[in-house]
Structure 1
């Protein structure tokens, strides 16, 4: 059984998911279309956006490419990059 995530990690997952949703919607994409462009399942996009799944780095790169944004853009929210 996987280790439970800490509250901090849960919050970072939530923020990452919200940022992904913001970028996806800003590009006028559905979860399904983004999944097709990124080569991942729509359910995976949904789980990331809802903070239920932490994507591997390769998936982050695929999603960034599909959105035509630098990967770092996925890690910036409220105008500030995620920091400890």
Structure 2
């Protein structure tokens, strides 16, 4: 069983996931294809997009590289 996380952290994860989904869809990629390009499992991409998983910094860089963007672009504007 997973320990519960503070509501603020859950919201930040949700916002990050929504931003990732938005960018992935703009690039016309499936979760599976993005996972392949980033060297990650499709389930990992799905969990990140749904706010269920907090990606490691290395994963964020891998995803950004796969999308051809900076890691900073994965974070929603005004996220703080």
Alignment correspondent of 1:81? 78
Alignment correspondent of 1:36? 36
What SS does the corresponding residue of 1:81 show, helix, strand or coil? coil
Alignment correspondent of 1:9? 9
What are the ranges of 5 or more consecutive residues in structure 2 without an aligned counterpart? none
Higher strand share: 1
TM norm structure 1: 0.90
Distance 1:45 1:64 in 2: 12
User: How many residue pairs get matched?
Assistant: 80
Query: After the TM superposition, which segments of 4 or more aligned residues of structure 1 sit over 6 Å from their partners?
Result: none
What are the ranges of 5 or more consecutive residues in structure 1 without an aligned counterpart? none
Deviation of 1:2 after TM superposition, in Å, equals: 5.6
Q: CA RMSD of the aligned region, Å?
A: 1.1
For residues 44-83 of structure 1, the C-alpha deviation after alignment (integer angstroms, 9 at most, x for no partner) is: 000000000000000000000000010000112xxx2311
